[in-house]
Amino acid sequence: MDISTLIFNRSAATLADNERKIPWDEPAFSQRMLENHLSQEHDWASRRLPVIESQIDWIARQLAPAASVLDLGCGPGLYVQRLAQRGFHCTGIDFSPAAIHYAREQALACGLEIHYQQQDVRNFTPERQFDFIMMTFGEFNVFSVSEVQTLLARCRQWLTPGGQLLLEVHTWDEVKRQGLAAPQWQRCPQGLFLPRPHLLLTEHAWDEAARTSSTRFWVVEEQGEVMRFGSQMTAWRDDEYRQLLNEAGFHRAENVKADNWPVSATFEGKLFALLAKASE
């Protein structure tokens, strides 16, 4: 792909099938992403540690001693490591090889037995049940309608009777806002998509019928070569999240109070958490 493709492109940010999610599993990309997860200068990849610690305090209060915990999309293990240090039996699943490698090294250094797997959560099949399953930071919204329905049904199967599922999700308005955002560009001496100088052009699209927000990233190198990446999110209204959970066999789905689940100033009014209980 060259720069003329970008200049003469007139289509909306409609993504190809392989562009619905940026390449989390590509080794070099995942290493650059890991650096952002660990940064304390911003919280767009992972929360700053004081917020994580506050969330961990609340999660721990929901669990019986030595409960088993599954973190879907665990990243570099910032949550499960802290839960394991409190005596819980933890498993973490993530698509990023760099994040999983880092998490395993940290667990080994701390003498913690945490089961990490580098895998797409859509293909994960555990060998045991769990007392608590969590998926945080809006990861739930990157899946399609059918993927969400399948994933929730499987989470229900993976939970012990009366087990709990914690979902942190985007509001409908936030997903739509992202889809309606104006195009933008920036100069990057280095960045998430490339470790060398480039221009990053970003454009968005909102599909009301499909309830999806699409983002296309055009990466233009110094010599004019162009690469393209994309990501997509599905929007759900508050009552629809509860309906999805009910249909999957959960009940008592309730919003977690903001005092118990701070989302940080960056995501105030954009993310919120739901806690649901598996039917016994």
- 145: domain CATH number is 3.40.50.150
Task: Please state whether the predicted TM-score (pTM) of the whole model is above 0.85.
Answer: yes
Looking at the fold, whether 90 and 150 belong to one and the same domain comes out as yes
Looking at the fold, whether 73 and 193 belong to one and the same domain comes out as no
Looking at the fold, whether 244 and 217 belong to one and the same domain comes out as no
Distance CA 238, CA 170 (A): 10
Is the Cα torsion angle 59, 146, 177, 221 positive or negative in sign?
A: positive
Looking at the fold, whether 247 and 167 belong to one and the same domain comes out as yes
Q: Are 158 and 130 in contact (CB under 8 A)?
A: yes
Q: Are 85 and 112 in contact (CB under 8 A)?
A: yes
Looking at the fold, whether 212 and 266 belong to one and the same domain comes out as no
Distance CA 222, CA 225 (A): 7
Residue 158's CB is within 10 A of a number of other CB atoms, namely 19
Looking at the fold, whether 111 and 243 belong to one and the same domain comes out as yes
**Tokens linked to 5:** 């493709």
Looking at the fold, whether 107 and 246 belong to one and the same domain comes out as yes
The whole domain housing 185 covers 3-24+174-234
Q: Are 92 and 103 in contact (CB under 8 A)?
A: yes
Looking at the fold, whether 159 and 87 belong to one and the same domain comes out as yes
Determine the 3-state secondary structure of 162 from DSSP: strand
Q: Tens place of pLDDT for every residue, the chain, 280 residues?
A: 667 766 666 665 667 666 667 888 999 999 999 999 999 999 989 999 999 999 999 999 999 999 999 999 999 999 999 999 999 999 999 999 999 999 999 999 999 999 999 999 999 999 999 999 999 999 999 999 999 999 999 999 999 999 999 999 999 999 999 999 999 999 999 999 999 999 999 999 999 999 999 999 999 999 999 999 999 999 999 999 999 999 999 988 999 999 999 999 999 999 999 999 998 7
